[in-house]
Amino acid sequence: MHSSNTSVDFIGIWYRHVAVSPHEQELRLAQGLANGGQLDFYQIGRLDDHHDKSGYAAVKRIFHHHAAHETLYVGNISSQHHALG
């Protein structure tokens, strides 16, 4: 079983059009990946007409990092999982 800690770019309120902080999105994804988790990102609505695209660059950086170093992450498990094993 793989861990997935999703980063959501849009709070589920119809009138809120501000993205989650790009720094928080990047940190959340990086921490999940570093702890044996899978990358997971989604947003409410469409990518092309999203009002605040400020987080896209940070999210892309993490996904590109993972793709460039994928072999380092294959088979990783969290230290908590290992301790319980």
Mean pLDDT by 10 residues, the chain (85 residues): 70 66 89 85 78 87 93 74 57
- In terms of residue numbers, what domain contains 79? 7-84
User: Is 11 part of a structural domain of the chain?
Assistant: yes
Nearest in space to 9 (alpha carbons), one of 38, 41, 32: 41
Distance CA 9, CA 20 (A): 5
The pLDDT value recorded for residue 61 is: 94
Q: What is the reported pLDDT for 45?
A: 73
Dihedral angle over CA of 41, 25, 6, 13, nearest 10: -90
Is 44 a domain residue?
yes
Q: Is residue 73 part of a domain?
A: yes
Residue 37 maps to a domain: yes
Q: Are 62 and 30 in contact (CB under 8 A)?
A: yes
* Assigned domain for 46 exists: yes
pLDDT of residue 83: 58
The verdict on residue 2 lying in a domain is: no
pLDDT at 2: 66
CA distance 57 to 54: 7
> Total structural domains in the chain?
1
- pLDDT at residue 27, as a whole number: 92
Residue 1: inside a domain, yes or no? no
Q: Is residue 15 part of a domain?
A: yes
* pLDDT attached to residue 22: 87
CA distance readout (Å), 8 to 19, 43, 46, 56, 62: 9, 5, 13, 12, 15
